[in-house]
């Protein structure tokens, strides 16, 4: 079999088709890569926005999972070119290994559906809504309608790529920690780790489309140049010269969440989508079987999904009210009535934040009823169902996957984690949890004027309920 360094996918063939991606990448695509990209299951990603409802706040954020997936594939090729120069990688991996991780980078988001990050927060009929990685595996196998076509994606991987589709699926569904085989864990860390190709692509790509600088403020060239294999042979790490580049990378991710992904208006739009879905589910308006729900999601793009949900929503329902602010050429996002975090305000504020973060989604929905009743009886402000939302940020986004820093010479000491050697990264990780993660109570825009006129009383009432209200499910 061809040696990995001679693969055309790694840029060693003049016969590649070149596609241009913003901001300035020319991505070479081989015939077998094009066979996947041209499959209907992959083309579907053109209809799925990378950042869901974020375009209601950042108008340029209309880029798609299609663009991002090709971008991640390109970043994986750059990682591999460097790592194949490292004996601990180049002497261990085979051509099949390299093609497998290239396919995993290209296909890791194949199961993404519109508003996936909002929908994944929905507890569906006693089960969590399937995560997009799980759906991607089913699409590759041809188990879902979205994977249909002239042959499955899995058959393309087996016949044209010469790789095991199940191995590709394992890399992006299990991740390094859950893979028993050290070599598979090493390959998976290229797609999922503290410095993976996925983050490297979306930070920069999202920044360009959102019109913000935060995700561009890291040294991509230096980071890739310093890639190596960790001391356990299971993950990628960095040589000591990459420490500053890794700190910049961590800070870019921190600022993107702080100033862009979790901007209060973005969170308001996301919370409105989640509350709409919860209301429709409670009313029995969504498909009974989870599998049927997945098929419905995969048939629609973002705008089609919101329009479909609007058709399902009964008149005078919470879902109808919420979707009216997101669809029909209207933009009427909920406004902040109270914002809480681990770091801000009094101990009472911080305790309220801790309690809300600990409650389940059903308990939070029950608590909104108590809050609306308190505002009605104490202030005469009558909010309908859906016009007050308690928003807590995703629980899984503050995890910091540490990166091993390997010394240039043995006398410089043993390998150590980036958090251990960098006060900057330790501060970022701590600040992310204490400052960036905020709990917010949003209300319908028509009510915010009346509530702000009684700001102190409103804050006191909401805090009282947040701390002591009965969270009825």
- In this structure, what CATH number is given to the domain that contains residue 44? 1.10.3210.10
Q: Is the pLDDT of residue 468 over 60?
A: yes
87-93 long-range contacts (CB < 8 A, ≥24 apart) are: 88/228, 88/229, 88/233, 89/186, 89/228, 89/229, 90/4, 90/5, 92/183, 92/186, 92/233, 93/4, 93/183, 93/186, 93/187
Per-residue exposure over 69-100, b if at least 16 CB sit within 10 Å of its own CB, e if not: bbbbbbbbbbbbbbbbeeebbbeebebebbbb
Q: How many domains does the chain have?
A: 2
**8: cis peptide before it, omega within 30°?**
no
- Which of 263, 296, 328 corresponds to the end of one domain? 263
Is 259 found in the same domain as 215? yes
Q: Is the pLDDT of residue 59 over 70?
A: yes
Is 348 found in the same domain as 240? no
Q: Tell me, yes or no, whether 400 lies in a domain.
A: no
Is 143 found in the same domain as 249? yes
- Cβ contact 181:29 at 8 Å: no
Is 226 found in the same domain as 92? yes
Is 221 found in the same domain as 296? no
Q: What is the pLDDT of residue 320?
A: 95
Is 449 found in the same domain as 308? yes
DSSP E strands in 291-444: the ranges are: 335-341, 388-391, 404-406, 416-417, 438-443
Backbone phi, psi, residue 438, to 5°: -120, 145
Taking residues 16-31, report their average pLDDT: 91
User: What confidence tens digit (pLDDT) does each residue in 266-309 have?
Assistant: 999 999 999 998 899 888 898 877 788 888 889 999 999 999 99
Is 298 found in the same domain as 189? no
Q: What is the pLDDT of residue 122?
A: 63
- Cβ contact 323:132 at 8 Å: no
Is 211 found in the same domain as 69? yes
Q: Tell me, yes or no, whether 277 lies in a domain.
A: no
CA 254/CA 429 separation, integer angstroms: 8
Is 308 found in the same domain as 257? no
Q: Tell me, yes or no, whether 138 lies in a domain.
A: yes
**Domain with 364 in it:** 284-395+434-468
User: What confidence tens digit (pLDDT) does each residue in 314-334 have?
Assistant: 999 999 999 999 998 889 999
> Helix 65-83 to helix 197-210 angle, to the nearest 10 degrees?
140
Q: What is the pLDDT of residue 142?
A: 92
Q: Tell me, yes or no, whether 250 lies in a domain.
A: yes
Q: Is the pLDDT of residue 138 over 90?
A: yes
CA 284/CA 265 separation, integer angstroms: 29
Q: What's the maximum distance between 2 C-alpha atoms anywhere in the chain? A: 76
25 versus 442: the higher-pLDDT residue is: 442
Is 374 found in the same domain as 298? yes
- Which of 229, 263, 297 corresponds to the end of one domain? 263
Q: State whether the Cα torsion 369-371-376-382 is positive or negative.
A: negative
Is 326 found in the same domain as 248? no
Q: What is the pLDDT of residue 116?
A: 81
Q: Is the pLDDT of residue 6 over 90?
A: no
User: What confidence tens digit (pLDDT) does each residue in 332-357 have?
Assistant: 999 999 999 998 889 999 999 999 99
Q: Tell me, yes or no, whether 402 lies in a domain.
A: no
- The stretches of 116-181 forming alpha helices (DSSP H) are 116-119, 132-141, 153-156, 165-173
DSSP strand pairing (404-406 vs 416-417): antiparallel
- Which of 231, 263, 295 corresponds to the end of one domain? 263
Q: Tell me, yes or no, whether 126 lies in a domain.
A: yes
Q: Tell me, yes or no, whether 372 lies in a domain.
A: yes
- Cβ contact 157:165 at 8 Å: yes
How far from 361 is each of 29, 130, 271, 396, 468, CA to CA, in Å?
Answer: 44, 17, 12, 15, 17
User: What confidence tens digit (pLDDT) does each residue in 187-213 have?
Assistant: 999 999 999 999 999 999 999 999 999
Is 259 found in the same domain as 288? no
Q: Tell me, yes or no, whether 228 lies in a domain.
A: yes
Q: What is the pLDDT of residue 282?
A: 86
């Amino acid at each position: 079999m061809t040696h990995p360094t001679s693969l055309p996918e790694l840029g060693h063939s003049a016969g590649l088709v070149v596609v241009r991606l913003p901001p300035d990448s020319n991505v070479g695509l081989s015939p077998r890569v094009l066979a996947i990209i041209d499959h209907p299951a992959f083309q579907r990603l053109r209809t799925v926005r990378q950042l869901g409802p974020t375009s209601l706040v950042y108008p340029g954020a209309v880029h798609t999972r299609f663009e991002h997936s090709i971008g991640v594939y390109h970043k994986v090729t750059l990682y591999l070119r460097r790592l194949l120069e490292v004996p601990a990688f180049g002497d261990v991996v085979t051509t099949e290994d390299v093609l497998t991780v290239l396919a995993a980078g290209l296909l890791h988001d194949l199961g993404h559906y519109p508003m996936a990050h909002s929908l994944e927060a929905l507890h569906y009929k006693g089960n969590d809504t399937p995560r997009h990685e799980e759906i991607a595996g089913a699409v590759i196998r041809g188990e879902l309608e979205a994977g249909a076509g002239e042959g499955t994606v899995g058959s393309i991987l087996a016949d044209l790529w010469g790789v095991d589709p199940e191995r590709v699926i394992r890399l992006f569904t299990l991740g390094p920690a859950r893979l028993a085989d050290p070599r598979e864990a090493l390959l998976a860390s290229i797609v999922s780790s503290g410095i993976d190709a996925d983050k490297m692509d979306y930070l920069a790509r999202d920044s360009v489309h959102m019109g913000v600088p935060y995700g561009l403020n890291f040294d991509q060239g230096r980071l890739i140049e310093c890639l190596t294999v960790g001391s356990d042979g299971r993950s990628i790490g960095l040589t000591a010269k990459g420490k500053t580049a890794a700190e910049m990378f961590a800070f870019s991710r921190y600022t993107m969440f702080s100033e862009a992904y979790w901007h209060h208006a973005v969170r308001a739009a996301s919370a409105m989508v989640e509350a709409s879905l919860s209301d429709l589910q409670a009313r029995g308006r969504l498909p009974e079987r989870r599998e049927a729900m997945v098929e419905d999601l995969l048939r629609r793009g973002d705008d089609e999904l919101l329009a479909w949900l609007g058709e399902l929503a009964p008149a005078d329902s919470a879902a109808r009210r919420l979707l009216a602010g997101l669809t029909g050429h209207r933009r009427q996002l909920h406004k902040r009535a109270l914002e809480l975090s681990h770091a801000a305000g009094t101990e009472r504020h911080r305790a309220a934040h801790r309690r809300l973060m600990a409650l389940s989604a059903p308990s939070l929905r029950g608590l909104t009823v108590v809050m609306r009743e308190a505002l009605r009886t104490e202030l005469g402000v009558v909010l309908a169902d859906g016009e007050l939302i308690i928003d807590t940020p995703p629980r899984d986004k503050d995890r910091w996957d540490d990166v091993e820093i390997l010394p240039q010479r043995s006398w410089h000491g043993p390998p150590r984690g980036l958090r251990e050697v960098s006060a900057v990264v330790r501060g970022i990780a701590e600040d992310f949890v204490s400052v960036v993660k905020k709990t917010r109570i949003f209300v319908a825009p028509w009510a915010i004027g009346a509530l702000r006129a009684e700001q102190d009383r409103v804050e006191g009432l909401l805090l009282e309920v947040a701390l002591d209200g009965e969270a009825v499910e």
